[in-house]
Amino acid sequence: MALRWLHKAEETLFSLLLVAMVLLVFVEVVLRFVFNTGISWSQEATLYLAGWFVLIGVSWGVKQGAHIGVDVVVKMLPVLWQRVATLLALAICMAYCVLLLVGSYEYLSLMKMIGIELEDIAIPKWYALTILPIAMLLLMLRFTVLGWKVIRGDASGFGFHDEGEDSMHLVQSDEPDGQDNGDAGRDSDQGTPR
């Protein structure tokens, strides 16, 4: 239940960040090119919003299986060894997350102690950078959930997005298969050859 709520909160924040970035850039472009003025802090705000968007998107991508990975060799292994390889990869990913979590915590502590503000926005820099440890905790949670699924046998790998397989499906759907299906090789709107 808590994971479902977290996933919904992640998606909501993901959407809000995207909308905020698009609106901010749109308003800035209109102000600059129509009214010959601008918002002094829009570039910095967009930069930090994009950072938050990407860092939240990393854990969301693990949940969705949207990351691209090279798993050609792993897919050739028996399922048991696929699971072992996945658990090993997850252990490495978790170690990396721990390093980034510790490093980001130390960096935030230093920023808070020094009291540096953002260049254009009058807020402490560490406020804007709190996403670093939050993102690492979210990513560690996603890796833990995936590891549990692998241990239980519900998954054997990361569930990477397979662009090669998608491309093969596209090629196969474009190839004539010897049967006259009416619109193969034609634009669906016009009925004309491509």
The 10s digit of each residue's pLDDT in 63-111 is 887 777 777 777 778 888 888 888 999 999 999 999 999 999 999 999 9
Task: Identify the burial level of 56 via C-beta atoms within 10 angstroms of its C-beta, where 0-12 means exposed, 13-18 middle and 19 or more buried.
Answer: buried
Looking up tokens 């919003």 gives 49
Q: pTM for the full model?
A: 0.75
Contact by Cβ (8 Å): 64, 10: no
How far apart are the C-alpha atoms of 4 and 11, rounded to whole Å? 11
The 10s digit of each residue's pLDDT in 108-135 is 999 999 999 999 999 999 999 999 999 9
Overall average pLDDT of the 149-162 stretch: 77
Residue 46 has pLDDT above 60, yes or no: yes
Closest CA to 193 of 174, 165, 167: 174
